[in-house]
């Protein structure tokens, strides 16, 4: 029986004796692919997310889906909601009308393209109807019950097409206004872009749920999306946190990877890539967006990236950085382990320092598969990253509204007003948390926050209600640090704080009034109820654009944390460390006055080393990361077990003095595994799927750790290992 993934199908599988319940129900790891099954890309995650519903020459969509089901994968579906292989819509094949005029258009009249004949779309009513009828219905009919609507994106520089002008008139009731002409027009344009994709996702998810129900299927809808940090940095508008209010959305994929996290940032007056720090904040913003709603989230990391001209060493270094960052969020343990395995395993990329392009180096594919398979074991943990807890930075979806174009010469280079609130602390080893203003209605949002840093220099509050929620929190003992000059041109856009009877010059004046402060509060310290408000009259970008520009800010945070919040000592360091089950995750920051390495005492297995050595200690120097398996925390230490491996292990059995299992991983990759045993094995037998001995398999015993290192060539059909104890 083929696995069709629906909830209703699991019971049938149990009754039929097909795929086991554990294999069918587990949805912990996934990858997305536009390919049919191939032995080179069989990475053995729980889910294969099949991308795009179009038929191809020699293969229908159904056949592509079935190719993965036949290899025991749960099959989900993903497609772009803002772009995709929708040429049949744009060229009129679907309804007889030409729709290329529905693309997003810049001020100079250029369409913003995602590919040939594939514009970024203005999601009109007709386009939504096409998505439902031509794609969503088709994939549900193919037996898929989990649908991912990827990247709802409207570029800030767009907003000049005739389609957008029509949507403007329908939404606002008056004629379109060019966004470059005033801050108010920009704000209105971006709010509309935001609404259009919010509405598109509402309509498509509602249709998917309703159609699924009509044919007896429980359909779930997920949104793979970049973080609010990245979309704001890249000047893209997307619904982000507001999707939590849609009952039709069941979860998200946090699309964070090298390509997003390597966006240069300013710190201490220097502009450069800071991949780990950026990734940490990107994942953090996704956690802030989803955790209070208790919806499922997968964390994505990519072993390469979209840029095909970086070299393998660059990919590897930044993969370590983003991988480490995501593991430092112990409440998330579901992962999209990679996008496009066909790109990773079968594409050629440069060798550093040469013009040569090669397939993925064998050592890197081994290392990557060790990391990927560790994710299958990664537990949720109640542990916290070491460092002072409870310092949050407030975010809002409106961060996306003020990025483009520039008005009145007010600039925010490289999104520095955001990084000015986060980097000065993050770089000193403080695990800064992010808080979405849209989620303040959930008690969990501020439950653990002691000091909340906020600024309206690059965002604005959407509602009065959020200010009342903040004021109530301060009154009960919370501490706010408000840092802004309130001089950006968006302070005076026509919004709730200056309309319908309100006459505040800036939104902060309304917040301050609720806390019994003067409207134009000067720099200083104020009390309200049991809480405290610090006002700093600098824009946060000044803390990172200037060398040593953050000294006053950091000192005020320390005072607020220790004296006002009475949260304990705010000590600084140069590293982050977290224990998750048997795993140790470490990152040591550079650009820190503390240049000492961080040392983890062993014995530990180094999971970033494809040879999987057992180390007496691991020394992590500034700028480096570590991913370790601590042998002192092995569960069931007396039981033979695979601790680390570049293949997924199935059918483990311990009986009659033998430990056996089957290992599966893509062809043309090398498996290295470290196995815990009570004593040196008497014999190790390794056979391929045809039962033929694999004499090239090698093993080595380490008496100190009681582990055996075993290596052999991988196979998706399975390598059968028997260890005589």
CA distance 567 to 66: 56
**Domain co-membership, 446 together with 585:** no
CATH code at position 197:
3.20.20.80
Q: Are 304 and 344 in contact (CB under 8 A)?
A: yes
Both 710 and 590 in one domain: the answer is no
Residue-number span of the structural domain to which 654 is assigned? 641-724
Spell out the residues 6+ positions from residue 317 whose beta carbon is closer than 8 angstroms to its own. none
Q: How far apart are CA 199 and CA 81, in angstroms?
A: 12
* Residue 668, both tokens: 């043309």
Write out pLDDT tens, residues 142-178: 999 999 999 999 999 999 999 999 999 999 999 999 9
Comparing C-alpha atoms, which of 308, 153, 299, 135 is closest to residue 208? 135
Beta strand pairing call for 74-80 and 146-150: parallel
Please state whether the peptide bond connecting residue 405 to the residue before it is cis, i.e. omega within 30 degrees of 0.
Answer: yes
Q: Is there a domain that residue 528 lies in?
A: yes
Q: Has residue 205 been placed in a domain?
A: yes
Asked if the structure places residue 381 within a domain, the reply is no
Instruction: Answer yes or no: do 367 and 490 share one domain.
Output: no
Largest CA distance in the chain: 85
Domain at 505, CATH number: 3.40.50
DSSP state of 356: -
Q: What secondary structure, in 3-state letters, does 529-596 show? A: CCEEEEEECCCCHHHHHCCCCCHHHHHHHHHHHHHHCCCCCCCCCCEEEEEECCEEEEEECCCCCCCC
Same domain (yes/no): 331, 467: no
User: Are 491 and 619 part of one and the same domain?
Assistant: no
Strands, E, within 415-562: which ranges?
A: 433-436, 451-454, 479-483, 524-528, 531-536
The 8-class DSSP code of residue 461 comes to -
Q: Is the CB of residue 385 less than 8 Å from the CB of residue 328?
A: yes
Residue 281 preceded by cis peptide, ω within 30? no
The residue from 564, 585, 604 where one domain ends is: 564
Domain boundary among 564, 588, 608: 564
**Does some domain include residue 620?**
yes
Which of 340, 375, 410 is the last residue in one of the domains? 375
Assess whether 296 and 180 both reside in one domain.
yes
Tell me, yes or no, whether 193 and 260 share the same domain. Answer: yes
Do residue 368 and residue 269 come from a single domain? Answer: yes
Domain membership of residue 570 (yes or no) is no
Same-domain status, 356 and 407: no
- The verdict on residue 207 lying in a domain is yes
- pLDDT tens-digit map of 191-238: 999 999 999 999 999 999 999 999 999 999 999 999 999 999 999 999
pLDDT at 115: 87
Q: Would residue 383 count as lying in a domain?
A: no
Burial class (CB in 10 A: 0-12, 13-18, 19+), 699: middle
Instruction: Tally Cβ neighbours within 10 Å of residue 169.
Output: 12
Contacts of 546 (CB under 8 A, 6+ apart): 269
Strand partners for 146: 220
Same domain (yes/no): 557, 579: no
Q: What does the pLDDT look like over 355-393, one tens digit per residue?
A: 999 999 999 999 999 999 999 999 999 999 999 999 999
In a domain, 131, yes or no: yes
pLDDT along the chain (725 residues), means of 10: 39 31 69 98 98 95 97 98 96 95 97 93 98 98 97 98 97 98 97 98 98 98 98 97 89 98 98 98 96 94 96 98 98 98 97 95 98 98 97 98 95 98 98 97 95 98 97 98 98 96 97 97 98 98 98 98 98 98 98 98 98 98 98 96 98 97 98 98 98 97 98 98 98
- Give the chain's domain count: 4
Same domain, 418 and 319: no
Task: Note whether 186 and 334 are same-domain residues.
Answer: yes
């Amino acid at each position: 029986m083929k696995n069709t993934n629906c909830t209703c199908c699991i019971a049938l599988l149990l009754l039929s004796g097909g795929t086991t319940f554990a294999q069918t129900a587990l949805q912990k790891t996934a990858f997305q692919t536009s390919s049919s099954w191939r032995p080179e890309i069989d990475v053995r995650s729980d889910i294969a997310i099949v991308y795009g519903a179009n038929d191809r020459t020699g293969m229908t969509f159904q056949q592509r889906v079935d190719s993965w089901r036949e290899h025991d994968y749960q099959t989900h579906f993903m497609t772009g909601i803002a772009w995709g292989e929708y040429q049949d819509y744009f060229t009129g094949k679907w309804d007889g009308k030409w729709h290329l005029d529905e693309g997003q258009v810049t001020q100079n009249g250029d369409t913003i393209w995602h590919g040939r004949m594939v514009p970024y779309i203005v999601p009109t009513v007709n386009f939504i109807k096409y998505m439902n009828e031509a794609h969503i219905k088709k994939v549900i009919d193919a037996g898929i019950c989990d649908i991912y609507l990827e990247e709802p994106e409207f570029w800030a520089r767009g907003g000049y097409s005739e389609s957008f002008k029509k949507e403007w008139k329908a939404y606002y009731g008056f004629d379109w206004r060019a966004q470059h002409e005033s801050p108010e027009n920009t704000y209105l344009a971006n709010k509309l872009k935001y609404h259009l994709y919010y509405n598109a996702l509402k309509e498509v998810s509602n249709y998917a749920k309703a159609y699924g129900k009509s044919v007896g299927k429980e359909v779930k809808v997920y949104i793979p999306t970049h973080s609010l940090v990245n979309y704001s940095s890249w000047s893209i508008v997307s619904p982000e946190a507001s999707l939590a209010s849609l009952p039709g959305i069941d979860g998200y994929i946090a699309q964070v990877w090298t390509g997003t996290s390597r966006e240069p940032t300013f710190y201490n007056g220097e502009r450069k890539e800071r991949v780990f720090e950026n990734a940490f904040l990107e994942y953090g913003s996704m956690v802030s967006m989803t955790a209070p709603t208790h919806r499922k989230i997968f964390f994505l990391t990519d072993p390469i990236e979209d840029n095909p001209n970086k070299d393998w060493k660059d990919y590897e270094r930044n993969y370590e950085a983003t991988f480490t960052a995501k593991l430092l969020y112990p409440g998330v343990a579901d992962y999209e382990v990679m996008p496009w395995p066909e790109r990773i395993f079968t594409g050629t990329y440069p060798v550093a320092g040469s013009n040569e392009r090669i397939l993925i180096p064998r050592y890197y594919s081994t290392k990557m598969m060790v990391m990927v398979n560790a994710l299958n074991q990664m537990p949720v943990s109640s542990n916290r990253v070491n460092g002072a807890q409870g310092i949050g930075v407030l975010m809002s979806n409106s961060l996306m509204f003020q990025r483009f174009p520039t008005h009145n010469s007010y600039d925010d280079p490289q999104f520095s007003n955001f990084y000015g609130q986060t980097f000065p602390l993050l770089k000193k080893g403080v695990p800064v948390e992010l808080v979405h203003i849209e989620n303040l209605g959930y008690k969990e949002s501020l439950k653990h926050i002691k000091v909340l840093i906020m600024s309206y220099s690059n965002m604005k509050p959407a509602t009065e209600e959020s200010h009342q929620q903040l004021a109530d929190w301060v009154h009960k003992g919370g501490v706010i640090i408000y840092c802004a000059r309130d001089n950006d041109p968006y302070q005076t856009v026509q919004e709730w704080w200056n309309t319908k009877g309100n006459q505040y010059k800036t939104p902060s004046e309304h917040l301050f009034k609720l806390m019994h402060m003067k409207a134009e509060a000067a720099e200083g310290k104020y009390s309200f109820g049991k809480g405290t408000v610090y006002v700093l009259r600098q824009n946060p970008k000044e803390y990172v654009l200037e060398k040593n520009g953050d000294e006053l800010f950091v000192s005020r945070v320390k005072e607020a944390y220790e004296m006002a919040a009475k949260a304990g000592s705010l000590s600084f360091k140069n590293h982050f460390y977290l224990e998750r089950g048997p795993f140790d995750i470490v990152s040591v920051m550079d650009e820190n006055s503390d240049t000492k390495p961080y040392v983890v005492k062993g014995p530990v297995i180094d999971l970033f080393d494809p040879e999987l050595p057992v180390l007496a200690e691991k020394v992590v120097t500034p700028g480096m990361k570590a991913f370790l398996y601590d042998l002192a925390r092995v569960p069931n230490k007396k039981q033979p077990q695979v601790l680390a491996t570049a293949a997924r292990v199935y059918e483990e059995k311990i009986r009659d003095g033998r430990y056996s299992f089957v290992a599966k991983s893509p062809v043309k990759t090398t498996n290295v595994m470290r196995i815990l045993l009570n004593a040196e094995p008497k014999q190790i037998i390794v056979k391929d799927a045809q039962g033929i001995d694999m004499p090239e398999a090698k093993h080595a015993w380490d008496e100190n750790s009681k582990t055996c290192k075993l290596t052999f060539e991988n196979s998706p059909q399975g390598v059968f290992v028997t260890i005589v104890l």
